[in-house]
Structure 1
Amino acid sequence: MPLLEITGLTRRFGGLTAVDAVSLHLTAGETLSIIGPNGAGKTTLFNLISGIDIPDTGTVCLGGHSLGGLTPERIAALGLARTFQHGRVFGNLSVRDNVLIGAHARLRAARPGLPLVGPLVELALALVRPAAVAAEEQALADEVTAILGRFGERLLPRIDQPAHSLSYANRRRLEIARALMLRPRLLLLDEPTAGMNPTETAEMLEVIRGLKDDGLSMLLIEHKLELVMALSDRVMVLDGGAVIAEGMPAAVRADPRVIEAYLGRRHSAEREPPPLAAQQFAHQLEATS
């Protein structure tokens, strides 16, 4: 059974079909990259998988469990974590506390999850702090240190600093660290290197490669094709919300439909230069060939 199985997922906004009957599967330990022009529906697909948005039709199953109708919190408890295209951190909280938030679905001693009286019990445990709660807090603190260590010296020396004081690249790293604190079965990364320079991109490549080597299953949205080609077991291409190509990275890179999706026939017909993003994509295709 695939870890993630999506069938016929569709999302419409008025007359616009943002995701058009998309189906995919992901096996445990696999990295699947989703690429496509701006506006192809990639982030909307992530929103549907993670429960932030609701599909018009189609199903999403994680580990055999249907995610239909579940809240993002319940989906997270099933082992799905994600990052966002535009990094989201809690600016007034420390780096440490931002990462600890990622463990919210895993708490047992401090958050027994009792119906009705649960909030009162949690308050009492926070005030009394019995041995089980203290032990859980220490274990989580050790885990925060280990996760931040994946990013070298970028975050650990800043563990007690507020997140708003971090550079843009470090806020992106912090968001990934928070997602890892969930101990996800499946990690969704939405453009993790957006806005990063070549050095920062190379560092992020090594971080994601380390996660892949550890056997973590990942869905990756990324525009930097050198990173896609280095990390992906398979690549899926969206255009206009629909899947136009899927397969091994080298085969997808050479698919005429993929090149046309970025460059488009109309530009050559009108003798107009393609958009800058399309030109950059074409250059990346040549560089990775």
Structure 2
Amino acid sequence: MTRLGYQIPNFTYPGVAPERLFATVCQQAVEAEESGFDTVLLMDHFYQLAGLGTPDQEMIECYTLLSALAQHTSRIRLSSLVTGNTYRHPTLLAKTVTALDHVSGGRAQLGIGAGWFELEHHSLGFEFGTFTDRFEKLEEALQIILPMLRGEQVTLSGKWYQVHDAMNHPAPLGRIPVLIGGGGERKTLRLVAQYADESNLICGVPEIPRKFEALAGHCADLGRDRSEITVSYQTSACIAPTHEEAVAEFEAYLVRQPQGASRRDTAIVGSPDEVAEKFARLRDTGIDGVTVNAPPNGHIEGRVALLGETLAPLFTS
């Protein structure tokens, strides 16, 4: 499971024409693989999120893009962070992830969550429903997807989904690990304890101990060994050879994308030594790994490589 993941959340890059967009994304994935990251992850969205840009900015469908990246990499795992369950029927998602596993030579990982981006749903015609609806759908979906990924036939007559002897041939090449994203202590972490191999937390650093406690409680209630579950933490970074370069690239990003101002207080910005020191403190909270994105400068050749070389000794050695 994820110890050091590189997430690509944005596809709007200064000076990059549309015909160079895939090459720029591919460059990041290749640098990630070669520098020590173990997983490349893409957001599963169709519109850009408010904290990163505007809805009309570039957003490529994630599973098509992951399959393309599989042809340019050879070792790194490939995943969404995370699939919005509301966007695909569970049987289609099981087939899609299995196809990714085959075209990547067994490197697929399933990241999944309940879905939350209301604008995207209403604009594109996906049913949104209530918070409770979406979590009920997610649990039923897991009851369909996971057996299908194990090569089993599935029958379910649920509130939201009905399938009869649903099959998945060919089966995945190996066991596809399952990551559930989010930090909700009552619902999300209970689903992690019951169904997942990994929890990817999005929360403030001071909240991490409370998330651990909640997850451990759900595991105890379900009779599951908490040590079976990897816990990774989602964050952002802007690294450059010097502190001054990193700050300049981060500030230039905020000029281009003022919506990203919320990252000023949370992104880890600095030279390799500064970034390593801050991530070492994050590791000392007890997390098993991190998923890191670099929207300010990940498109600049060499920056993802520098980030991987800086963090790999902390999380993969």
| Range of TM-score over shorter length | 0.3 to 0.5
TM-score, length-normalised on structure 2?
0.30
TM-score, length-scaled by structure 1? 0.32
Larger Rg: 1
